[in-house]
Amino acid sequence: MTEPTSLSAAAVAVLSAADPIEKVRLSRATAALWRSGELSGIGNALPPSRPQRPERPPLMAPRDVPKRKINQGTKGRVALLHALAHIELNAIDLAWDIIARFTGEDLPKAFYDGWVKVGDEEAKHFDLLAQRLSELEAAYGDLPAHDGLWQAAEETAHDLLARLAIVPMVLEARGLDVTPGMIAKLSAVGDAQSAAILQIIYDEEIGHVACGKHWFDYLCKRQQRVPQKAWRELVQRHFRGALKPPFNEPARSAAGIPADFYLALELDRNPESLNRP
């Protein structure tokens, strides 16, 4: 890669790469340069409003994306792995976007260390899924994919606290809720390799949610806001749709989000959930 002059310039290069293989390569290479200290300045390069995407897969409304049923043979598993690869590709961009978009916020180096690690791991996750797809004689790009994943980034582009409230603390936390069920189903149909990949992703995603919560708390303290109240207000303002139980309480609390944080919010929206067993 041409030597980036700053971390934000390197982040913009990741966001501007359309080819997923190149995006993964830049993400991992930038993380290595940052870890080694060869790259150390943050700079103030501006990220594009939307990251570059490859021509394939075609993007379409979620309702038009074929449903993935793990028990429908290889085809069903390919559809699931493809959908997850698409989410990881977006996650790579979300990590580098948070790095480049908020450089004016006077954040400590540890903030960048955390999100660089997330960007590195998201690239690894995409890579693992893409390799598994090729073992199943498929590839990322073969199937249509969801076009709404950048919406949360646009909705929160003006406000770091809102970004943290929604992307890691709602969307990635939701991943913690649903992944164990997918792992169990993949194991039940005998696909131990895919299950092992999802286990790696799951374990590392706890760290991503934890990174989000850590910096959310840090900013709340700086802004003299009460974290639970601030999160509730931001989710109500910026997240369309409800938080969906059941929640993976052990994983969420391992990431530093206690149950009362999100149960109160769910109750605001679904008072009938009180009656649920």
Closest to Fe ion by CB, 120 vs 205, is 205
Identify which of residues 172 and 191 has a Cβ nearer to Fe ion in the complex.
172
| Choices 71-79, 84-92, 144-152, 258-266 (CB under 5 A): range interacting with Fe ion | 84-92
Nearer to Fe ion, 68 or 125 (CB): 125
In whole angstroms, the minimum distance from the beta carbon of 101 to Fe ion comes to 17
How many angstroms separate the Cα of 49 from the Cα of each of 14, 155, 156, 245?
13, 11, 11, 32
Place of tokens 């993007």: 59
Q: Which two tokens stand for residue 51?
A: 């990251």
CB 140 within 8 Å of CB 82 = yes
Question: Binding of Fe ion at residue 213 (CB under 5 A)?
Answer: no
Q: Does 97 bind Fe ion (CB under 5 A)?
A: no
CB 254: neighbour CB atoms within 10 A? 15
Q: State how far the Cα of 204 lies from the Cα of 246, in Å rounded to an integer.
A: 21
If binding is defined by CB under 5 A, does position 93 make contact with Fe ion? Answer: no
**Which residue number, 79 or 118, has a Cβ lying nearer to Fe ion?**
118
Distance of CA 73 to the CA centre of its chain: 27
d(CA 132, CA 137): 9
Residue 122 touches Fe ion, criterion: CB under 5 A: yes
DSSP element (H, E) containing 166: helix 160-166
Q: Residue 218 Cβ, how far from Fe ion at the closest point, in Å?
A: 19
- Give the nearest distance from C-beta 168 to Fe ion in angstroms: 7
208 binds Fe ion (CB under 5 A): yes
Specify the residue, 39 or 118, whose C-beta has the smaller distance to Fe ion: 118
Is 125 an interacting residue with respect to Fe ion (CB under 5 A)? yes
Q: What's the min distance (Å) between Cβ of 40 and Fe ion?
A: 24
Q: In the complex, what is the shortest distance from the CB of residue 94 to Fe ion, in angstroms, rounded to a whole number?
A: 8
* For Fe ion, the closer CB: 29 or 197: 197
How many residues are listed for the chain in this entry? 277
Could you say which DSSP state residue 46 is in?
A: P
| Per-residue CA distances from 135 to 22, 74, 191, 248, 263 (Å) | 20, 11, 12, 31, 41
Stretch that binds Fe ion, among 65-73, 82-90, 131-139, 221-229 (CB under 5 A): 82-90
Q: Which residues bind Fe ion (CB under 5 A)?
A: 88, 91, 122, 125, 172, 205, 208
